[in-house]
């Protein structure tokens, strides 16, 4: 949790201190529709980009399967390969490309709304950055556990003890 604004980060990628000061984050602002079965487990978020010349924020609603996809993307990134997340066309997408120097190139494309693409180089991320992102994902899942079960297509109920 960020102590200054109590926002939970799902993703926080930033240069090491003394580098350019660039960062790309996905901040979880809360549940999308708390208490409503069909929207309770969706998360209201924003992708935030900060550089010395650009500050941008893109609203995004994450579904439970988006968190599962992020976990898979982390495995791809850990192997040093390019990965794209949120590429369904319903939200802004993110592409993350590790480079040979140990840095990352992060691109956010807001295809559904503005059509804007912002690409941010991140220099010298900490060596354990993938593990840090996994810890953030685990924290989001702890703070916002799945509480709804889809019993059949389009039919939902609140999760009970023993549900998987």
Tally of residues, the chain: 164
Beta bridge partners, 28, equal 8, 45
Q: The pTM is what?
A: 0.90
Q: Cβ distance 59 to 46 under 8 Å?
A: yes
| CA gyration radius, the chain | 16
Strands (E), 32-103: 43-50, 55-62, 83-85, 93-98
pLDDT of amino acid 115: 93
Lookup result for tokens 């487990």:
41
d(CA 93, CA 157): 30
Lookup result for tokens 């998360």:
43
Q: Cβ distance 92 to 56 under 8 Å?
A: no
User: What is the token pair recorded at 109?
Assistant: 């494309």
For the chain, residues with pLDDT lower than 70 are 1-5, 18, 124-125
d(CA 60, CA 51): 20
Residue range 102-120, pLDDT digits in tens: 889 999 999 989 999 999 9
pLDDT of amino acid 100: 85
pLDDT of amino acid 4: 45
């Amino acid at each position: 949790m960020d102590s200054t604004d109590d926002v939970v980060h799902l993703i926080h990628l930033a240069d090491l201190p003394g580098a350019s000061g660039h960062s790309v984050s996905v901040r979880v602002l809360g549940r999308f529709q708390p208490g409503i079965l069909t929207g309770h487990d969706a998360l209201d978020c924003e992708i935030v980009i900060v550089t010395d010349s650009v500050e941008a924020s893109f609203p995004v609603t994450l579904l439970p399967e988006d968190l599962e996809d992020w976990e898979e993307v982390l495995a791809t990134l850990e192997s040093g390969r390019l990965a794209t997340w949120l590429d369904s066309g319903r939200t802004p997408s993110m592409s993350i490309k590790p480079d040979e120097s140990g840095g990352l190139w992060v691109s956010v494309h807001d295809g559904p709304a503005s059509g804007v693409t912002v690409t941010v180089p991140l220099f010298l991320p900490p060596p354990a950055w993938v593990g840090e992102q996994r810890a953030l994902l685990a924290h989001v899942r702890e703070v916002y556990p799945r509480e709804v079960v889809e019993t059949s297509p389009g039919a939902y109920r609140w999760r009970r003890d023993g549900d998987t």
